Amino acid sequence: MKAIVYDAPRKFEYRDVDIPQIDPDEILLRVHACGVCGTDLHVHEGEFGARFPLIPGHEFSGEIVELGSDVKGFSKGQRATASTTQACGYCFYCKRGDFLLCENLGGIGVEINGAFAEYIKVKGDLAFPVNKLSVREAAMIEPTACAVHGMEVLAVKPGSSVLLLGAGPTGQVLAQLLKLNGAAKLTVAAPAGQKLDLIARLAADEVVAIDRQDPEVHQRRLSQLSPNGFDYVVEATGAAPMAEDAMRFVRRRGTILIYGVYPDDALGRFRLAEIQRRELAIKGSFAQIDCFPRALEYLESGKVKVHELVTHEFALKDYQKALELAWSRQGIKTIIIPPEN
Ligand SMILES: [Zn+2]
Ligand SMILES: [Zn+2]
């Protein structure tokens, strides 16, 4: 089969590899499409604990072409996706039931071969049927599952005012989930353009264009909109200066959620006296491990809408072009289509 294979950071090739051999507890999927996300850009740089050689790609769906003898509840020809994180079951955190915190957590597309390929094998117990979603929408299941986990971490008090920084693909989903889960008023701040326009249509009550040249403009606008700040500030840009800025907008006893994906060495500076005196909380949310069923409920019921998010499609052989588009920060979501689709 054809696949994108990294032999080392920044060194990948579109080449022929063997179709994965499945174990009795595994499923072989013919990949329909796989989304490109910020994590893939970090994997490209060798960050995130990426293990090489590696086929990246973790936002996929496909058709079941082979089933291991121990797999239950699926049939050939069915469409499916799979949760991408696998806990070891034996470490300190797994023994406490905190599987997402597993010290040996394996991630498809990071430590385990992913879906920038014609076929991918997944564990049967991590697979989920996809019934109503288009191939494009299905690329948003994994990011939606991560956003559902973010909502769990944030635990918004009903009737709160929330500021979301960033309107990328995950921001678009987070915004809708925030409106469904306690945000009485949602303000989104992001650079002006297609993403901000879409989030205004999908979920935001107010949008504020971020001006990177003259940050005072958006800072002033945000303090006009909410003179006492926001109960929750969700940082979903992955830019360290934005995370530092979150402190400026959060109200007393408010919570900042660090949700973006940052370079491994990114640092944020916070005034400790402010955290103490204003009784602030800073939380982190990382990936997900048990949120696929709930993400599918939101997407298949149409409560969370993602059909407008995929703005670009590339053939698998053109992965380099997809990366360049992602670096240029154009479009919203890009998906990769393997041959034979
Ligand atoms: Zn992702
Ligand atoms: Zn573990």
Superfamily of the domain at 2-140+309-337: Medium-chain alcohol dehydrogenases, catalytic domain (3.90.180.10)
User: How far, in Å, from the CA of 96 to the mean position of ligand 2?
Assistant: 9
Residue 141 CA: which ligand is closest?
A: 1
Domain ranges of the chain: 2-140+309-337, 147-284
User: How far, in Å, from the CA of 89 to the mean position of ligand 2?
Assistant: 5
Residue 102 CA: which ligand is closest?
A: 2
Q: Give the model confidence (pLDDT) of 113-154 as tens digits.
A: 999 999 999 999 999 999 999 999 999 999 999 999 999 999
Residues with CB under 5 A from ligand 2 (ion): 87-88, 91, 94, 102
Span 227-244, average pLDDT: 95
pLDDT at 286: 94
Span 210-239, average pLDDT: 94
User: How far, in Å, from the CA of 209 to the mean position of ligand 1?
Assistant: 25
Residue 109 CA: which ligand is closest?
A: 1
User: How far, in Å, from the CA of 3 to the mean position of ligand 2?
Assistant: 29
d(CA 253, CA 314): 45
- Contacts by 318-322, CB closer than 8 A, 24 or more apart: 319/4, 319/12, 319/14, 319/116, 322/36
User: How far, in Å, from the CA of 146 to the mean position of ligand 1?
Assistant: 8
Span 35-59, average pLDDT: 94
Give 68: exposed, middle or buried? Use CB within 10 Å, 0-12, 13-18, 19+: middle
User: How far, in Å, from the CA of 60 to the mean position of ligand 1?
Assistant: 10
CATH of 147-284, picked from 1.10.20.10, 1.10.760.10, 3.40.50.720, 1.20.140.10, is 3.40.50.720
Q: Is the pLDDT of residue 180 over 90?
A: yes
User: How far, in Å, from the CA of 103 to the mean position of ligand 2?
Assistant: 5
Q: Give the model confidence (pLDDT) of 81-110 as tens digits.
A: 999 999 999 999 999 999 999 999 999 999
Q: Give the model confidence (pLDDT) of 258-316 as tens digits.
A: 999 888 899 999 999 999 999 999 999 999 999 999 999 999 999 999 999 999 999 99
d(CA 119, CA 137): 19
- CA dihedral 231→237→243→249, nearest 10 degrees, is -30
In which band, very low, low, confident or very high, does the pLDDT at 211 lie, cut at 50, 70 and 90? Answer: confident
Q: 85 in helix, strand or coil?
A: strand
Residue 331 CB coordination number (10 Å): 16
d(CA 162, CA 184): 8
Residues with CB under 5 A from ligand 1 (ion): 37, 39
Peptide bond preceding 169 in cis form (omega within 30 of 0): no
